[in-house]
Amino acid sequence: MTDQRPLRFNAFVMNTTSHIHHGQWRRPDAHQTDFNDVQTWVDLAQLLEAAKFDAMFFADVTGLYGDADADYDVYVEEGLQIPSNDPSVLLSALAVSTRDIGLALTSNVMQNHPFNFARQVSTLDHISRGRVAWNVVTGMQDNGARNFGLDRLTDHDERYRWAEEYVEVAYKLWEGSWEEDALEQDREGRHADPRKIHKIHHRGQRYSVEGPHLPSPSPQRTPVLFQAGSSGAGRSFAARHAEAVFIIAPSRELAATQVRETRDQAEAAGRRREDITFYQGLSFVIGSSEAEAKAKAAQYDEYISIEGYAAHAALVDPDGRVYPPETPLRELRTNSARGFAEWLQRHITDREPVVADLVRQRAQSGRIVGTPEQIADELGLWRDAGVDGINVVNWVIPGSFAEFADHVMPELRRRGLAQSEYAPGPLRQKLFGSPRLSDRHPAAAWRGAFSGERSPLLAAAGGRG
């Protein structure tokens, strides 16, 4: 029996020229080169909202890819996420230019103190009337770590322990600092009740935060929580905290496994399986016929930047230099993409496989080429595998999204695979039926924790402060 749920759709973007599909910015119809122009993003947000996309999700980085001590010419020459702008600032403009579409930003635990970050997110949630989401990341670039005063990127698992304290501080501020009816604004009396606004007095390994939270409770209090970690520590963190997990599974079968295993962990942590949703990242090449779609895919391939994809995948030698396209795969000395390189060596047997082959395979993976009907067929299979939504990855802006909206969305709606209208209320209510986090989420433990009305979850956990 097949699933009957509609899928959710996010536009996966970044406030930069070259985000995922490197080289496509050279196409004459590519307007992501206008990323500094706020109107580019306002127009795109309104296009996506008209198509009933659930959210517009902004990726972000705080440093260069690759070895921090190597030259960075390739990143600059390819526009590979440099220059890039801060999405949290851009979201304000999009919030006042749209009404329903969700607005998600990426922010890592290194780049902003949790007190300041919590205040910024609450402000955005107020401005957008409750449409903000946060992609919780721990950072992945040594250069990014150095930009915030560290010698190098903190150890992988330690970064997730850092993230645990970071979200705890934010949860205390968002959920526990203000009681629901603290803000009175009685013109003949007081503005707010001081007995219902609390300092949090957090003392931890990395942070000391007194509080109280300066903004009053926003429509969602805590933003919708997204996460994309695929490692063991990342999945464990997602099982405890995430409401939506981004995956880039190479097959539906592997997606189903990742979904099942993470939901198993969530259940073990006291949550329900349905408390977490999963979004697969995919790109689309759309044609009125299969032949037209394949011809368009061949045109897209002509713009592939071998150097850009190799740099993004960190296909670099021990000195941090990107391997030339003609380098045989057997000569690679890198910790990234090793399994994929070994797979390719087994499957290309008529000649010596080289870096260019590996890059082309990476560029072409995760894409669906076909007619709207064929694409809808394939997306139905992803849904049946347990995926809840799709992160639509563009080739160009706005054309990739306009094509998807005009040609694929109507077919998806006809099949019940996409929503026809937005549900009312804040983003969490649209996605999960309630504007506030479930009582099963660890953030709920801090509701009433500072007012003498102790949360049952906090009491069960021993009341850690």
The domain limits of the chain are 8-284+371-461, 288-370
CB count within 10 Å of CB 21 equals 24
Q: pLDDT higher for 67 or 191? A: 191
Q: How confident is the model over 144-193, as pLDDT tens digits? A: 999 999 998 888 889 999 999 999 999 999 999 999 999 999 999 999 99
Residue indicated by tokens 């870096």: 355
* Average pLDDT of the segment spanning 365-388: 96
Q: How confident is the model over 202-223, as pLDDT tens digits? A: 999 999 999 999 999 999 999 9
Predicted confidence at residue 141, as pLDDT, reads 86
With bands split at pLDDT 50, 70 and 90, how would you rate the model's confidence at 361? Answer: confident
CB–CB of 422/129 below 8 Å?
A: no
Q: How confident is the model over 132-145, as pLDDT tens digits? A: 999 999 988 889 99
Minimum mean pLDDT range among 401-405, 443-447, 449-453, 457-461: 457-461
Own/partner pairs, 146-149, CB within 8 angstroms, 24+ separation:
146/63, 146/68, 147/62, 147/63, 148/62, 148/110, 148/111
* DSSP label at residue 80: B
- pLDDT of 465 > 70? The answer is no
* 260-282 as b/e: b if 16+ CB within 10 A: eebbebbeeeebeeebbbbbbbb
With bands split at pLDDT 50, 70 and 90, how would you rate the model's confidence at 453? Answer: low
Cα–Cα nearest to 200, from 191, 192, 209: 209
| Percentage, residues of the chain above pLDDT 90 | 75
CB–CB of 351/301 below 8 Å?
A: no
- The yes or no reply on domain 8-284+371-461 and CATH 3.10.20.30 is no
Tally of CA atoms within 13 A in the half-sphere of 420 that contains its CB: 5
CB–CB of 334/317 below 8 Å?
A: yes
CB–CB of 285/369 below 8 Å?
A: yes
* Average pLDDT of the segment spanning 255-266: 95
3-state DSSP assignment of residue 64: coil
Q: Who contacts 360 (Cβ-Cβ below 8 Å, separation ≥6)? A: 301, 304, 306
Length of the chain (residues)? 465
Judged by phi (left if over 0) then psi (alpha if -120 to 50, else beta), residue 14 lies in beta
Give strand pairing partners of 227: 136, 245
Q: Cα separations (Å) of 58 from 45, 84, 276?
A: 12, 11, 20
Q: How confident is the model over 78-100, as pLDDT tens digits? A: 999 999 999 999 999 999 999 99
Q: pLDDT higher for 248 or 193? A: 193
| Mean pLDDT estimate for the chain | 92
Q: pLDDT higher for 21 or 2? A: 21
Cα–Cα nearest to 320, from 70, 132, 94: 70
Orientation angle between helical segments 156-171 and 114-127, nearest 10 degrees: 60
Predicted confidence at residue 318, as pLDDT, reads 65
- pLDDT of 339 > 70? The answer is no
Predicted confidence at residue 1, as pLDDT, reads 42
Count helices and strands (H / E) in the chain: 17, 11
Q: Cα separations (Å) of 15 from 57, 212, 237?
A: 10, 33, 27
Helix (H) or strand (E) holding 345: helix 338-347
Q: pLDDT higher for 358 or 308? A: 308
Q: Cα separations (Å) of 391 from 11, 244, 334, 347?
A: 6, 11, 29, 29
3-state secondary structure 26-57: HCCCCCHHHCCCHHHHHHHHHHHHHCCCCEEE
| Percentage, residues of the chain above pLDDT 70 | 93
Strands 55-59 and 8-14: parallel
Predicted confidence at residue 94, as pLDDT, reads 98
CB–CB of 132/220 below 8 Å?
A: yes
- DSSP alpha helices (H): ranges in 51-173? 73-78, 87-95, 114-127, 142-146, 156-171
- pLDDT of 362 > 80? The answer is no
